[in-house]
Chains A and B, each alone.
Chain A
Amino acid sequence: MIKAENLTKIYSPCGGCPVTALDDISLEVADGEFLAVVGASGSGKTTLMNIIGCLDMPTEGRYCLDGTDVSTLDSRGLSSVRSKKISFVFQGFNLIPTLTAAENVELPLIYRRMAAAQRKEIVKQALEAVGLEKRANHLPLELSGGQQQRVAIARAFASDAPLILADEPCGNLDSKAGETVMSMLRQMNKMGKTVVLITHDNAAAKTADRELRISDGRICV
């Protein structure tokens, strides 16, 4: 699924000294694998996820997603790759605040120009899968943090992208809500999705197929 070679990312903020966030990282993730990326704060986890998620380009290195060399794509091509292949679950503020849960789940399908009737059916299924069918017409503000994360997972489910990228999805949640979110990610993984989970919680990382530790932009172990 993912094949990255010698990824390096150097941020050069204007008026500051350049920061090497990723330093020569190579990794491979197989289809259907559940990978946990662990590391201390500032170690470059989010930077890595942005590159894997085609939100950012590496300064150096090659990155192939599902056989496509991403560095050759323009912004239009990148968004189409994101639309077809990747779903994100961010730490918080995953949802559009003015849209209801159902509308949020529907959004990736709209961007994919799917017909309305088909969309409604998929949205219904996705919300049922995360146990939030009763909250379909609630706005994000009317949902708890855990429920919001579950809506984000439902959105990933609905968009049916083969790769799910979760950046600290349980970061703001208590252990119980966090556990629910984790179990849903595992469930998605069982359904054949590739999951890359970014976390600093070792316990959560243990449940993954494989752990990848990074520190100061380098892979250790």
Chain B
Amino acid sequence: MNYGNFSGIIKSIKRGRGRSWLTLCSVAVGVFAVVVISGIGSIGSERISSTMMTMGINSAMVQASDEDSTVALTREDVAAFGRLQGVNKAMPLMAAMSRSVILENCVNCYAWGVDEDAREIISIEAVYGRLIDNHDVENRSCVCVIDEDIARQTYGRGNIVGKKIKLLLNGSYYEFEVVGVAKSGITGLQSMMAGIIPDFAYIPYSTMQDITGKSSFDKIALLLDSKSADENLTETLTEQVNGIKKCEGSLVINNFQSQKGQLTDILSVVTTVLSLIAGISLIVSGITVMTTMLVSVGERKREIGIKKSIGAKSGDIMWEFLSESVLLTALGSCLGIILALLCCFIGCAALSVPFTAPVGAAALSFAFSVFMGAVFGVYPAGKAAGMKPIDALRS
């Protein structure tokens, strides 16, 4: 084939009509949509993975199943669960949806009643000040550790150790002293799903028990032996804890591993569906390419006639038009990919999430749109190539 004329093809696009640019843009928009959507998806699942990492992949939570909340978890249970095979440590946990009032600002948050083991078991980390310790638990003191996000939302800075905040628990507000600010493990996720996953506040579990008037615990957090943390362990542990409490299946164990899997599964389904829908726009732009090329063939009949009269073979004409449509889609999808990557990059920077380029989606949509260019270019190119020289000249 006649590769020497390649620059001529670029020229004919460049010097050619605004229509070529519009076609190019329609391809770019389609590719842009596909790449951005899958970019968001992959960044999202990346965040979920890393978040779940920080939340402690080796942790699991024992709690009463939704149907049966009569089972009361006690101090003895904590000790018993802690001794189970494959469990390193157990910690009582209280949980309540709450609302914090700081400087007249209301922030919805989730309050956890914890003890000193929270650092290890649910992986919280103090950025400023300290975490809840066993001394706080014994004294049933009104101290709390809050997420850095809450601090930033209300005070506009991270370090608010020593400030007083009010937490709404069991229907009334209680004043707490902030003794520490914890690193918000799921910042990116939280900002992406604004409102769905709330910020956290941690207080001594004993204080929470006092306020709610409960003597039992809502949940028991387990630190699993990292080597044996898998599905089977969860199953055997579930049996064992139900055995200890003699309550047949009323207790369930959630571990973060399986939650992570669920979240990423949902996300990947959503991403795939959205990407497919966006992929339809690629077919649409393929049809646009075909229209453009057909109009172009009609418009350049005379040109085709001249080319044939000076010795162009059908193959030459075919190659010229086909490569023009492939080039159009290739350039269009490059443009779309560049814009999409730029968008992802800016988005990541704005959400302060590490940037990961959706390379696979970019490559796939590039290949797909170039393929579309070839498929939808064949008919117009064949039409041009098959033209009889006199017919082409007589226009």
Mask: chain B, 363-378; 1 = CB below 8 Å from A; 0 = not: 0000000000000000
Residue of A nearest to B385 (CB): A75
Chain A residues close to B by CB (< 8 Å): 50, 53, 55-56, 75-76, 79-80, 82-84, 86-88, 90, 93-99, 103, 107-108, 110-113, 116, 139, 155, 159
Contact B311 A79 (CB under 8 A): yes
Segment of B90-98, B281-289, B302-310 in the binding face: B302-310
Q: Which of B303, B307, B312 contacts A97 (CB 8 A)?
A: B303
Query: Which residues of A lie under 8 Å from residue B215 when comparing CB positions?
Result: none
**B309 adjacent to A55 (CB under 8 Å):** yes
B168 CB-CB contact with A under 8 Å:
no
Count chain B CB atoms within 10 A of each CB in A84, A86, A110 and give the residue with the most. Answer: A110
Chain B: which residue is nearest A82 at the CB level?
B311
Choose among B5, B308, B309 the residue that contacts A110 (Cβ–Cβ < 8 A): B5
How many angstroms between the C-alpha atoms of A139 and B308 in the bound complex? 20
Task: List, in ascending order, chain B residues with CB within 8 A of A96's CB.
Answer: 303, 306-307
Q: Nearest Cβ distance between residue B196 and chain A, in whole angstroms?
A: 55
Interface residue tally for chain B (C-beta within 8 Å): 24
Whether A111 contacts B12 by the Cβ 8 Å rule is: no
**12 pairs from A and B in contact (CB 8 Å cutoff):** A55-B389, A80-B311, A82-B310, A87-B310, A90-B393, A96-B303, A98-B12, A98-B16, A107-B310, A110-B4, A110-B8, A111-B316
Q: A76-B314, A98-B11, A99-B11 are in contact. Are A107 and B307 (CB under 8 A)?
A: yes
B227: chain A residues within 8 A (beta carbon) = none
Q: Are A88 and B12 in contact (CB under 8 A)?
A: no
Q: Indicate if B75 sits at the interface (CB-CB under 8 A).
A: no
Smallest Cβ-Cβ distance to A83: which chain B residue: B311
Q: Restricting to B234-267, which residues have a CB under 8 Å from any CB of A? A: none
Look across to chain B and name the residue whose beta carbon is closest to the beta carbon of A85. B311
In whole angstroms, what is the CA distance A50 to B314 when docked? 18
A93 and B316 CA atoms in complex are apart in Å by 21
**Residue picked from B309, B311, B312, most chain A C-beta under 10 Å:** B311
